[in-house]
Structure 1
Amino acid sequence: MPEKPIGQIMWRDLTVKDADQIKDFYSAVVGWKSQPVSMGDYDDFNMNLPESGETVAGVCHARGGNADLPAQWMMYVRVADAQTSVETVQKMGGAVLQGPRTMGEETYYVIRDPAGAVLTIFS
C-alpha cells in the first residue's frame, strides 16, 4: 500500500466564478495547458505542464459545493485524521468553513486559521 505522507501538500486548485477565463489567463501567463474535466453540466479544468502533460493544479467554477469558496489558490494537505485535526482547529481559534465532505474514501474539511487563511485538510 502506498505511503500517505502526513503534512504534505497533495493538491492545489483555484475556484472562481469564471473558470474558462481564468484557465486561459494562467495558460498565457505561466504556460500551462488546460484539459477539461466534466462536472456534469459544466467543465472544470486540470492545468498541465506544457512539455510532460503532468497535471499540477486545477481551475474550478464556483458552483455547487464550491460556490462559497473564496477566490484564492487552495492547498490540500493530508493529515492523519481529519476529524481530530478539525477539533484542534476549533480549539486553537480557527473555523471550519465546509465539511465534512467526502471524495472517494477521503474525508476533507475546508478550514480557516486564526489569521484568516483558508486550507483544505483531508485524510
Structure 2
Amino acid sequence: MNDDTTRPTAAKEVVSSHSVFGAPCWVSLTSRDLDVAEDFYGAVLGWRLRSAKLGDRFRIAMMGDTPVAGIAAVASMWQMAVAWTPYFAVPSADEAAARAQERGGTAAVGPLSFPPGRAALLADRDGATFGIWEGELFSDWEKWRAAAPAFIRLHTRDAFDAAIFYGEVLDWATERAGCCEVRYEGGEVVLRSQGDIVARIESGALGAAPDPTIRPHWQIHFAVEDVTACVRAAERHGGSVLSKGGDEAVLRDTDGAQFTVTSRKER
C-alpha cells in the first residue's frame, strides 16, 4: 500500500500507526479507470498520480510532494462499489479486526500484509465501510492532514451506538497514551487526535431518508482553497454536484464516488 519513493530513509523519522492510533491516517478510492480518475481529481483537487508498488491498477495521489490518497482501479474486476474509504491507524490490525467482528461488524478483506504494514477492509454494525492500517504511515501524519483531508464524517442512524463500536474497536478514549479523545458537541460525536478534529459522527437523517438506497457511510471532506472553483471543475470534467451551501459542496466524480470539498478556513 506504499510505493518505494515514499519509504522513509534511514535519516528520516518513521511515523507508524502506533503513534496516531485510532485516528484516520489514509484515504483510498476504489475506481474503474485510473486515467479518468487522474483527469478528474487533477482538475478538481490539483492532484497528480504516480505509480504504486502494488501494480498497474494502483496509483498514489500526490499534492505537491505529499502522498495524500490511494486510487485503485479494481471496482469492476473485484465487483466492489466505487467509493472513498477512510483508513484508521491501529497498533494491531489482527486485534482490531477481531474486535470489530466480535461486536457485530464484518471483515470484507484481510487483514493482509502490505509491506511495510498490514491492512483490512471492514464494515461496522450498520454496514459503513472503513479500513484499518498497522505499520509505517504513508507520509508524516501532520503533513498529510495539512495537504488535503480536512476530516471525515460518519453518516449513520445512531451516533452514540456507532461511537461505542468504533471506540471499542479503535481504542478511542482509553487511558493509553496518544489515544483519540471523544466528545459530544453541537449535536455530533466529535473525535480529536492531538487536539485536532479528525472525525465526526452524526445520526438522525438516515433513519427517515426518502431514498432507501442511502446507507450509513463515511464521507471524506477534502480541504480546498476555493469551493466554487472545485464545483466548476467537477462539472467540466464529467462529475456532478449533489449539494452546495456555504463553504462546502458534496460532489460525485465521473465514476460515481461521492466526497465533499470544504473551505480551508472552515477546518
TM-score bracket, normalised by the shorter chain, equals 0.7 to 0.9
Which has the higher relative contact order, 1 or 2, with Cα contacts under 8 A spaced 6 or more apart? 1
Partner residue in 1 for 2:141: none
Q: Is the CA contact (8 Å cut-off) linking 1:23 and 1:59 kept in structure 2? A: no
Partner residue in 2 for 1:119: 130
Distance across 2 between alignment mates of 1:69 and 1:21? 18
- Please show how residues 83-94 of structure 1 align to structure 2 within 5 Å: 83-94=94-105
SS of 2:43 mapped into structure 1: helix
Q: Which runs of 5+ in 1 are unaligned?
A: none
Q: Is the CA contact (8 Å cut-off) linking 1:46 and 1:56 kept in structure 2? A: yes
How far 1:25 sits from its partner (Å)? 0.7
- Please show how residues 40-119 of structure 1 align to structure 2 within 5 Å: 40=55, 42-49=56-63, 52-62=64-74, 67-119=78-130
Distance across 2 between alignment mates of 1:118 and 1:37? 23
% identical aligned pairs: 25
Structure of greater Rg: 2
SS of 1:115 mapped into structure 2: coil
Q: Is the CA contact (8 Å cut-off) linking 1:23 and 1:45 kept in structure 2? A: no
SS of 2:97 mapped into structure 1: helix
How far 1:27 sits from its partner (Å)? 0.8
Tell me the alpha carbon deviations over residues 43-77 of structure 1, each in whole angstroms, 9 at most, x when there is no partner: 5322221xx332211221107xx824431112221
Q: Is the CA contact (8 Å cut-off) linking 2:97 and 2:111 kept in structure 1? A: no
Q: TM-score, normalised by structure 1?
A: 0.80
How far 1:109 sits from its partner (Å)? 1.3
Aligned residues between the structures:
118
Distance across 2 between alignment mates of 1:43 and 1:107? 19
SS of 2:42 mapped into structure 1: helix
Distance across 1 between alignment mates of 2:67 and 2:62? 4
